[in-house]
Amino acid sequence: MYKGNSGGPVIEIEQVKLTKVKFRVIGIVSQFVPFAEQWLNVTHGYSNLVISNSGDSVVTPIDAVFELLAKN
């Protein structure tokens, strides 16, 4: 799992010109999406469940973050 990514910025990179690049924060990482893999040994009657990070994340849009901050 990628512990510590939550709360990190999601950045959009735009190449405006050959030598000019714009960076914008478009969201905040709020959680990871787990990948579950389970196998079962029918002969011996036991199973194993492994949960890992799928590499995908849930992102809260930056507009929603600003709205929440404005309420406090």
Per domain, the residue ranges of the chain are 9-71
Looking at residues 41-58, what average pLDDT do you find?
A: 89
Which alpha helices (DSSP H) does 1-72 contain, by range?
62-71
Q: How far apart are CA 49 and CA 8, in angstroms?
A: 29
Q: Which pLDDT belongs to residue 54?
A: 84
5: its two tokens: 């990514």
**pLDDT at 1 > cutoff 50:** no
- The residues, any chain, with a CB within 8 Å of residue 39's CB and separated by 6 or more, are 47, 48
- The residues, any chain, with a CB within 8 Å of residue 46's CB and separated by 6 or more, are 40
What backbone torsions phi and psi does residue 70 show, to the nearest 5 degrees? -70, -25
Reported as a single tens digit per residue, the pLDDT across 7-32 is 899 999 999 999 999 999 999 999 88
Q: Which pLDDT belongs to residue 2?
A: 57
